Structure 1
């Protein structure tokens, strides 16, 4: 389906994803999103209440796409330890089609949004989900301290995303995977 044949809401979300992540939320006005999406101004306001709503929807959409990819990577693994480490496989796959030059989109957004912004709630929900989903897999891998280990791995995951953004670590994904494997065996 060509871009012009996609529904306006989808085109707006794709444009928001590209521009909010690449340029920053604070640096991107709705006019730029509308122009990139190739829609009329009314389409934005028909689909979203305004920029704040668009930002929250962009973050929720990115979270949804991430969860789908991560679940696919988890489901591809039979070994319980590899199912935990599938979060890193998902990052490798994600980065093959989506830029990670600014690290985690949710953290990048959180640094730009004021307290109480609807996007901050989406960010917090995303981060809680990552820990909860890891905890289920860590427990299935036999760890009795699954919540603690999942939080530790989530911090490694967030650090890896930061390392991808600043580009000082030659292999942040591989290193994060090794550290997480060590946490599973500690």
Structure 2
């Protein structure tokens, strides 16, 4: 899974064949197929693993006793941390969005990515709900999610994290204005 994740992120899921994965991992194809019924199953596992990695990073950044504003910023920090640890060969943007772009509409992997993005926005709204009204929290969470996704996309094009750090600073200013 680790090898597949690295290759899927660096080269894309479609461009990465099973032979390449097994050769780089030093395992037989049967070992891979004993754990994953198909390449599609492996791709979905990759998407779910990236989601779990991000959640773990978010939880490590978030302090449950910290002010709600810090919880919002922890979402941005988790994206920055995830970009740093998941891209030793250069940042290529959001691995989940990159994966979704390779999948057809209606694919299970695209739905998993959509759920991840919805969960991120829900986390933002939850923290913001402790600062402002529910309606304003939902609206601001949507704005911050759009800011975050735009920053991730541009950071991927630039191959460095400056845009994510900028977005975090903009988010901080938005929260302060609430």
TM-score by length of 1: 0.85
Relative to structure 1, the CA distance from residue 23 to residue 136 in structure 2 (aligned partners, 3 Å threshold; closer, same or farther) is same
User: Greater relative contact order: 1 or 2 (C-alpha under 8 angstroms, separation 6 or more)?
Assistant: 2
169-178 vs 134-143, greater mean Cα deviation? 169-178
Does the 8 Å CA contact 1:21/1:105 hold for their aligned counterparts? yes
Q: Does 1:163 align with 2:157?
A: no
> Deviation digits for residues 121-172 of structure 1, max 9, x if unmatched?
2111111111111111111233441111111111111111111111188821
Return the alpha-carbon distance in structure 2 between the equivalents of residues 33 and 63 of structure 1.
21
3-state SS, counterpart of residue 75 of structure 1:
coil
TM-aligned CA deviation for residue 28 of structure 1: 0.6
TM-aligned CA deviation for residue 183 of structure 1: 2.7
1:18-167 aligned at under 5 Å gives the runs 18-75=6-63, 78-99=66-87, 101-144=91-134, 145-167=136-158
Superposed CA RMSD: 1.9
Return the alpha-carbon distance in structure 1 between the equivalents of residues 26 and 7 of structure 2.
14
Does the 8 Å CA contact 2:83/2:91 hold for their aligned counterparts? no
3-state SS, counterpart of residue 14 of structure 2:
coil
Uncovered stretches (5+) of structure 2, i.e. residues with no partner: none
**Ranges of 4+ aligned residues in structure 1 off by more than 3 Å:** none
Does the 8 Å CA contact 2:91/2:159 hold for their aligned counterparts? no
TM-aligned CA deviation for residue 173 of structure 1: 2.0
Return the alpha-carbon distance in structure 2 between the equivalents of residues 130 and 47 of structure 1.
29
TM-score by length of 2: 0.89
Return the alpha-carbon distance in structure 2 between the equivalents of residues 171 and 112 of structure 1.
26
Uncovered stretches (5+) of structure 1, i.e. residues with no partner: 1-12
Quote the residue 1:181 is aligned against: 172
> Deviation digits for residues 89-112 of structure 1, max 9, x if unmatched?
223322332216210011111111
Relative to structure 1, the CA distance from residue 28 to residue 104 in structure 2 (aligned partners, 3 Å threshold; closer, same or farther) is same
3-state SS, counterpart of residue 140 of structure 1:
coil
